[in-house]
Every structure is written in C-alpha cells, then in structure tokens.
Chains A and B, each alone.
Chain A
Amino acid sequence: MDLDVLKEKWAEQDRKLDASIRLNRQLLVAAKMNRLLWPLRRFSILTGIGVFTALIVLVILGRFIHTHWAEPRFALPAVSLHIWVIAYIAASIRQMAMALQIDYDKPIVLIQKQIESLRALRLRVIRWALLTGQLVWWIPFLVVALEGLWDVDAYKVLGVRFLSINVAMSLALIPAAIWISRKFADRAERSTAGQRLMRELAGYNLAAASGFLATLSEFEQESRN
C-alpha cells in the first residue's frame, strides 16, 4: 500500500471534484457572513462588559476601604474582594489581548500555540474564579454589603463564631470541590455544561490544553532519528 500510488488516485478524484461539489453562494452574502461573526465578537463584548462592571465595583470597594481603613474587621474583607476583582480585570484584559493577536492566516503551529495558550489561560482563570470566588463572595461580601448598604454590622448581627465557621467551611470547600469534580467529571453525562464544569474544576481540561501545547512543541522540533 504505497502512498505515492494512492496520491495519483487522489489527484484523479481531485480533478472530478469541481463538478461534483456544489457551493451555496446564497450563504456567501456579506450580511449573512457578518451575522455569523457575532459569536466571535461576543467574547470581546462580554469580556468588555465584565471589565467595565468590575471597574465600577473596584471604585465602590475603594471608597469603602477608604472609609473603613481604621476598622480592620471591615477593611480586610473589602481588601480581599478588591484584590479578587483586580485579578479578574487583569486576567480578562490579558485574555482579550491574546485573542486579538490570533490571526488564522498565520502558520498552523504558531496559531495553534496561541489558541491553546489562550484556552489554557481561560481555563486557569475559570478554575481560579470557581475555587476562590466562593471564598471571597460569601462572608467577606456579606460583611461589606451589610455595612456598606445598610450600616449593619455583620459581626454583631450574625456573630463572630458564625462568620468564622463559614470562612473555615469556604476554605475546606476548595479541596472538597476538587475531589468531587475529579470523582464525577466523567459521570455528569446528562449535562454537557455540567460535565465541562466538573472537568474544569478537576483541572482535566487544563491538563489537556497543556498536553496539546507540548504536542505542538514536539511537532515543531526536528527529529534526528
């Protein structure tokens, strides 16, 4: 079974293909093509909206921290939220910058590396956001929101014990979430979204992205064998 012999047959078939393939030119109309571009633009638009919203939150939190700087029990939760939002903005801007550099007209190995690096970054951000988000957006958010919006001291109303237990549980939830997701990542068959979430928490998709980046590097290298 010689490839060069089969290549001749391929070329013969190729000469007949023009007559045997039909292209629907009605779908190649600019209006329809531009409509199909929308999902590609959606990522940039949604990321932009997310960054804009996060900047507003950052300003609000900044004012709260400034007002309560002398009260660490309020300032510290607000600072933890602040840091999380800054990290989110930085990650979003980095993703947008990477996405803008992707030009499908460039050589395959180069572009696939860029695409996979962007995918790996996005997966890291999602995993980080899921695992740490519940830590800062539960008790710290509750303390800041109650004080900031209604002048209610959560430490007095809910008690230090309640708040401490919940923070400890949020911390314990991180390794538990990773363990559960690894156990059930391949079992959440009914829901593609559920399965994807499990796999992202477990780090499987990130491992796959890293694996493909390694494959691309190997593919690029010349073998001496």
Chain B
Amino acid sequence: MRTPGLQEAFQDRVEQHKKILYKVCGAYCRDRDSREDLAQEIMVQLWRSFEKFDGRCQFSTWMYRIALNVAISFYRSEGARKRHVFSDEQRLLEAVVEPERQPEEVHLLYEFIALLDPLNRALMLLYLDGNTYQEIAGIVGISETNVATKISRLKSKMKEELGTKKT
C-alpha cells in the first residue's frame, strides 16, 4: 500500500540520483522531447517498483537496472511510438547546462555512445560512471570476464572511431 511517506521517500531518493536519469536519457535519445518521454517512462517504472525495493543492493544499482531496461525497450520501439511534445511545466528533467555547452570530451563520449548498439551503450554508461566490473556484471546479467572483454573491445573501438578527433 502506498503511503504519503513512501511518496516523499521516493522523491528524495530520485532527487539524490537524478544524474542517472539524465545520463541514461541522454545516451538513448537524441532530441529533447524523446528524452523527456523516456524520463517519464523510467519514472513510472521506478515508482511501480519502489515499494519492493528492500535495500539489498545500492539504490543506484537498482535505479540503473530499471532505467537501462526501460531505455533499451524504449529505443527498440521508437519507430512505433506516438510522439509527445512537452511544455516546460510538463518536463520532469531539465538541464541548466545544455549538451552543446558541455565540455568537448563529454560531447565526444556521447557521440561515441550514440554509435553503439543499445546493450553496449548500457555497458559504456556503467563503466564511465565508475561501476566495478562486478557491479556492471550484476546490472547487465553477464559474467565479470565477459564485462572485461567487452570493455576492452569498446576501448579499441573508441580509438578507431574517434582517434582522429582532437580534444
């Protein structure tokens, strides 16, 4: 049963980890309205599952799993999706610093992430955020060895794709 205390606890937790929402939406969607659409879908799933969150894992790990699962499904069904246009009051998430004013290196990273398939995007985001191979393996559902191999391949791919660009 959802109590008022639960709502406030949910708001506080999400506020603490809003960066996860921002980064996942930025990695899986190009335009502002799609990012907002995805943010709201992630929020709904987080709310739906929040009652069951028992603290056995870190909240960030739990939030990443849900956010990435929703994002991958969203990305794969984008062609069939009804487009929404949001007014400023309807927006859940807004960056004061717009992507084009981000540091060049971060912009390049998002460019590289956009070249990846949805599964490797998840790996890349988790790695960039400083998660250990063990944590990444737990979120993604593959072995640690597999994570290490894939990250190594992503590093090589990055050198190939962006090697000529200068920072």
* Size class of the contact patch on chain B: 35 or more
**Residue B109 is within 8 A (CB to CB) of chain A in the complex:** yes
**Residue B100 is within 8 A (CB to CB) of chain A in the complex:** no
Closest 9 CB pairs of A and B: A107-B141, A109-B141, A9-B105, A33-B47, A20-B97, A104-B69, A104-B66, A20-B96, A1-B162
Binding site for A on B (CB under 8 A): 2, 4, 6-7, 10-11, 14-15, 18-19, 21-23, 40, 43-45, 47-49, 52-53, 62, 65-66, 68-70, 72-73, 76, 79-80, 89-97, 102-103, 105-106, 108-109, 117, 119, 122, 127-130, 138-143, 145-146, 149, 154-155, 158-159, 162-163, 165, 167
**Chain A contacts of B93 at CB under 8 A?**
21-24
**Residue A190 is within 8 A (CB to CB) of chain B in the complex:** no
Give chain A's interface secondary structure class: helix
From residue B45, how far is it (CB to closest CB) to chain A in Å? 5
A37 to B51, CA, bound (A): 15
Nearest B-chain residue to A114, judged by Cβ: B69
From residue A10, how far is it (CB to closest CB) to chain B in Å? 5
Identify which of B96, B97, B142 contacts A219 (C-beta below 8 A). Answer: B142
**Residue A151 is within 8 A (CB to CB) of chain B in the complex:** no
A12 to B92, CA, bound (A): 24
Residues facing B in A1-45 (CB within 8 A) are 1-4, 6-7, 9-14, 16-25, 27-30, 33-34, 36-37, 40
New contact pairs (8) apart from A12-B103, A30-B47, CB-CB < 8 Å? A10-B105, A11-B130, A23-B15, A30-B6, A108-B119, A216-B119, A222-B143, A223-B149
**Residue A220 is within 8 A (CB to CB) of chain B in the complex:** yes
From residue A148, how far is it (CB to closest CB) to chain B in Å? 38
* Size class of the contact patch on chain A: 35 or more
Binding site for B on A (CB under 8 A): 1-4, 6-7, 9-14, 16-25, 27-30, 33-34, 36-37, 40, 103-112, 115, 192, 196, 212, 215-216, 219-223
